[in-house]
Structure 1
Amino acid sequence: MLLKHKFCLKTDTQSRCPSRITFTSLVAVTTCLDTSTAVPAAPLPSTALAEPIGAPVAAPLALSTHFSLTVNGRRIAVHQARVSAVPFNRVWPGHQRPLDQTELASFATFDADFLTPAVLIITLLDDHPRASTFATDDIALRPVAWNLSPAVDRTRRTLTLRLDRPRHFTVEIGGQHHALHLFANPPADYEFPPPGSPDLIHFGPGVHHAGLILPRSGQTIHIAEGAIVYGAILVRHADNVRIVGRGILDTSPFLRGQEADETKPGGELFARGLALDIPRENLNYTGNITAIACAHLTIDGIILRDSPLWSANIRNGCRHVSINNLKIIGQWRYNADGINICSSSHVRVSGCFIRSFDDGIIARGTHMLGENTPLHDMHVTGCVIWCDWGRALEVWTGSKSASISRVVYENIQIIRTTHIALGLQVWWGSPDTTAVNIRFEDISIEAHPDALPPHIQEDDTHAYPFPSDTSPARHIPDLFCANLCNPGEEWQKYFASTPGTTAKRSVYYGCITLKNIRYTGPDTPSPRIIVGSGDDILQIHNIHFENIRINDQASTPPMPLTLITHSNVQHLTFRS
């Protein structure tokens, strides 16, 4: 529907409404928005909203009752997000994780020009589980490498912090549970289509029940600050699409592909997609944002919350993709990855914050329906990662022939991860799988004494074996792992080829560099680097480690680092 209104740019001190960005906007007031066929209609009042759709697992989230925040004296809304409370996972059992494996965290976003430092006052509210122990609790702001040091008033339960630049960081009171995630952005500065243009889809402040949003080539989707859009965006065979703003895209009402029924609540995304002849296998991977075979895609500034699967999925030969200042939070469901870049090229990811249940950022080779292009030229920089289960940064491919090259992860802060911080992995492999010119550089990895050990859930009756606020044994994630994995019989149905095939598999990793990697955390057990798998199918040539520092101590094996290698590794070098 068409709706006339002015869009106001907000700063940290005032609001201004320049006439140059007065426009006619499209507001979703039906269950699904297909802009390839959208036509103008009569104006509606600005308060008009669609009825809620879907089948949310839990009640919609309200504002946080754990924290309040002011920035330069202005009250900022603090939202809730459901996150994983324990590192407990299993092969997809046909239904979603129970809520007793989750907890509520908080997050807030704001813009500031930082011409002078922004003054943040964070208050711990009575409902926070640590309110009664705040007087003695440890307080941690992460990443620790940034040395963010608030003034703490133990009586008033406040933290006062001065920020001199945009930062995405967390505040932990007495440990990792019920944390606050803060997203301090530079001022939003977007160019929009001219007033009245059909190339603009605008969601203003308020709640919108949009369903499946299908932009066409040349369109801009603007999710404004204060907007919460319940839906998912599928950019399919469309070029020059932009998804920008400071609002929230929330996909909590919708079910994962394997559990969704298009005739029932929770399956509305599938009903719309199947009606457009989109293959079900493609819809199975629909998360907050999915892009299939697109060029010149821009994603900037918005917040993604509660995806049914992978949160942002760039796949099937997308080209020239920019993902900047994206914030991902509230990912607690099975296989809820952060950003997946799949068989695409010339991709830039910068300045993002990701808290995922499963893997954080992944460079994936050929894996899904219709993919037949290499993954080439992917550059990730300036991001903060919190990974509740899997691998924080990863290069991955499965059983289809795949070519992965020129992948760079640099200047990244991993504030929490569970299994592996940096990974290069092939599941099963193919007759022709290569991953070459992979670089991890200038990366900080934090490990923590309160980290809970990961466990696989055996069945529905199996509970996580330890209380969420205690750890029976110190758990340290592996620093780096490059291996070949046989996923086991229970996973073989998910792959196009299985161990029953007769083709000879060949997997090659070459020219792998890890440089300026800093680990901060417990000294024992010592962090591990694992290279190779003892399987002749995998060959690894030319892998170089330089300036690997453990608690600021230069590390060369065997101390203070554990290095495990296999005979299929050639030309491995270590330089302090």
Structure 2
Amino acid sequence: MIVGLAFSAVSRAEVITYPGPAGETSSSNWQVQAGGQKVDVYAARVLDPPFAGKQWDYGGDYSFANFDMSGRVEVRIVSKQSLKNLVIRPRSFAIQPTVEDDHTLVLTLEEPRKLSIEPDGRKAPLLLFANPLETDEVRSNDENVVYFGPGVQKPEKIVLESNQTLYLAGGSVVKAEVLARGNNIRICGRGILDGSDWQWRKGPVGNLIAVRNSTNVEITGITLRGSSHWSIVPKHCQGVTIRNVKLCNSRVQNDDGINPCNSQDVLITDCFIRSDDDCVALKGLDFGGRNNNVERITVENCILWCDRARIFLLGHESRAQYMRNITLRNLDIIHFTMTPFLLEPGEDMRLQDITIEDIRIHGEGQRQFIRLRPVVNQY
């Protein structure tokens, strides 16, 4: 971890960077500095076999970078690609960069932001994640903490139980999937949880983060990369908060971002999701288990990018009695291809009290904005 401070008459700026670990190949397409400090840039793959060469144009592999900040911070970015057609999304942030030459841009951040720096649309963008300063107080010697410091590590499967915390320090790349079962569970830090080593649907748990039959769960601050199947899946849970989580997917199909299944009181806020499959899908069917209802789900203040499927899917694979009290608000959809909001309740399940408000949308897709109709379940 590297800390830098800058002072002015207007504000006090602080930047914290996390050097990339040995053994992790950096992106060759981008160089980033924040507050004068180097920010290491990571690579994310797109469409591994057997999906490589499909008809969808995802723009190829892409890059992402994280740092923490407060105050007013200048960010300098060098791109291997020409910046003649530069676009910074979401447009709603109204970021006005200075393009110094054909490959260099400078922008100023007044607050933490999640941005997609796009020299040529979907082709090899940089996802830039400027996080707030970390406030988690986690001790590596606490018996209730599963702690991963900087470096590349491959535990493959991590199991969490009641009152445990999984902490991924900045500069860590942890190649594993997580199974959490219990109450009062936290997953936090500034590290990367990486599923890229597993082929499609071959991971040791089945999801990058599987939360089962749990209450009071918090997932915050980390980055997920290259899920082999659905990414974050709370199933039969109550009281789940997912905050400031960054998902860098589209390596395989069926890599849904966040799928609350048969769960209640779920908050998804200040997240960035890029996925091949649905960014957020609510499911009301547990195969061979209880079909608990899905209710009081809020998705807000997020940035969403779906390469092939839907931004939101409500109703498929569901035989619960109802989904209700669902709120989707203050969202930036920066890329989509299919209908962004697909509300298709299966069989006798009811959709009730669904609010969609303050949505800003850009995408290549030419579909309906919302599709609402009952369907016969395919499962």
TM-score (normalised: structure 1): 0.60
Letter of the 2:97 counterpart? P
**Matched residues in 2 for 1:168 and 1:11: separation?**
20
SS in 1 for 2:332: strand
1:312 aligns with 2:235: no
SS in 2 for 1:145: helix
Which of 19, 25, 49 is residue 62 of structure 1 equivalent to?
A: 25
Task: Give the aligned partner of residue 368 of structure 1.
Answer: 287
Task: Give the aligned partner of residue 90 of structure 2.
Answer: 143
Task: Give the aligned partner of residue 252 of structure 2.
Answer: 333
1:425-470 residue CA offsets vs partner (Å, 9 max, x unmatched)? 23xx33x3111001101110113xxx3xxxxxxxxxxxxxxxxxxx
Task: Give the aligned partner of residue 558 of structure 1.
Answer: none
**Matched residues in 1 for 2:300 and 2:38: separation?**
31
Letter of the 1:325 counterpart? N
1:385-421 residue CA offsets vs partner (Å, 9 max, x unmatched)? 0110111123223252432110001011001111012
Letter of the 1:398 counterpart? E
Q: After the TM superposition, which residues 542-561 of structure 1 pair with which residues of structure 2 at under 5 Å, given as runs?
A: none
**Matched residues in 1 for 2:153 and 2:27: separation?**
20
Which of 274, 288, 303 is residue 384 of structure 1 equivalent to?
A: 303
Letter of the 2:285 counterpart? T
Give 1:367 deviation, angstroms.
4.0
Asked if 1 retains the 8 angstrom alpha-carbon contact of 2:151 and 2:173, the reply is yes
Task: Give the aligned partner of residue 101 of structure 2.
Answer: 154
Which of 387, 393, 397 is residue 316 of structure 2 equivalent to?
A: 397
1:240 aligns with 2:195: no
Q: After the TM superposition, which residues 212-251 of structure 1 pair with which residues of structure 2 at under 5 Å, given as runs?
A: 212-236=157-181, 238-251=182-195
SS in 1 for 2:136: coil
Which of 119, 144, 157 is residue 74 of structure 2 equivalent to?
A: 119
Asked if 1 retains the 8 angstrom alpha-carbon contact of 2:291 and 2:319, the reply is no
Task: Give the aligned partner of residue 438 of structure 1.
Answer: 354
Task: Give the aligned partner of residue 208 of structure 1.
Answer: 153
Letter of the 1:208 counterpart? Q
Distance 1:255 1:369, change over 3 A: farther
Asked if 2 retains the 8 angstrom alpha-carbon contact of 1:405 and 1:438, the reply is yes
Instruction: Please say which structure displays the higher CA radius of gyration.
Output: 1
Q: After the TM superposition, which residues 40-59 of structure 1 pair with which residues of structure 2 at under 5 Å, given as runs?
A: none
Distance 1:119 1:339, change over 3 A: same
**Matched residues in 1 for 2:64 and 2:4: separation?**
18
Task: Give the aligned partner of residue 17 of structure 1.
Answer: none
Give 1:483 deviation, angstroms.
1.8
Give 1:112 deviation, angstroms.
0.5
**Matched residues in 1 for 2:36 and 2:127: separation?**
19
Distance 1:256 1:245, change over 3 A: same
Asked if 2 retains the 8 angstrom alpha-carbon contact of 1:67 and 1:123, the reply is yes
Identify unmatched segments of 5+ residues in structure 2: 7-21
Q: After the TM superposition, which residues 285-324 of structure 1 pair with which residues of structure 2 at under 5 Å, given as runs?
A: 286-315=206-235, 317-324=236-243
Asked if 1 retains the 8 angstrom alpha-carbon contact of 2:283 and 2:314, the reply is yes
SS in 1 for 2:5: coil
1:265-318 residue CA offsets vs partner (Å, 9 max, x unmatched)? xx6x2xxxxxxxxxxxxx5xx221110111111100000001111111111x20
Asked if 1 retains the 8 angstrom alpha-carbon contact of 2:30 and 2:126, the reply is yes
1:372-395 residue CA offsets vs partner (Å, 9 max, x unmatched)? 211110111100001101111232
Which of 5, 27, 30 is residue 13 of structure 1 equivalent to?
A: 5
Letter of the 1:406 counterpart? N
More strand by share: 2
More helix by share: 1
Task: Give the aligned partner of residue 173 of structure 1.
Answer: 119
Q: After the TM superposition, which residues 457-472 of structure 1 pair with which residues of structure 2 at under 5 Å, given as runs?
A: none
Give 1:485 deviation, angstroms.
3.7
Asked if 2 retains the 8 angstrom alpha-carbon contact of 1:366 and 1:402, the reply is no
Letter of the 1:433 counterpart? M
1:109 aligns with 2:66: yes
1:406 aligns with 2:325: yes
Which of 72, 82, 97 is residue 51 of structure 2 equivalent to?
A: 97
**Matched residues in 1 for 2:294 and 2:247: separation?**
23
**Matched residues in 2 for 1:211 and 1:369: separation?**
27
Distance 1:480 1:12, change over 3 A: farther
Task: Give the aligned partner of residue 16 of structure 2.
Answer: none
Asked if 2 retains the 8 angstrom alpha-carbon contact of 1:244 and 1:302, the reply is yes
Task: Give the aligned partner of residue 191 of structure 1.
Answer: 137
Question: Displaced runs of 4+ in structure 1, greater than 6 A?
Answer: 99-102
Q: After the TM superposition, which residues 271-286 of structure 1 pair with which residues of structure 2 at under 5 Å, given as runs?
A: 283=205, 286=206
SS in 1 for 2:188: strand
**Matched residues in 2 for 1:119 and 1:61: separation?**
26
**Matched residues in 1 for 2:318 and 2:173: separation?**
39
Asked if 2 retains the 8 angstrom alpha-carbon contact of 1:306 and 1:332, the reply is yes
SS in 1 for 2:92: helix
**Matched residues in 2 for 1:399 and 1:363: separation?**
9
Asked if 1 retains the 8 angstrom alpha-carbon contact of 2:198 and 2:228, the reply is yes
**Matched residues in 1 for 2:226 and 2:135: separation?**
27
1:495-540 residue CA offsets vs partner (Å, 9 max, x unmatched)? 2xxxxxxxxxxxxxxxxxxxxxxxxxxxxxxxxxxxxxxxxxxxxx
Asked if 1 retains the 8 angstrom alpha-carbon contact of 2:213 and 2:237, the reply is yes
**Matched residues in 2 for 1:96 and 1:486: separation?**
30
**Matched residues in 2 for 1:214 and 1:118: separation?**
38
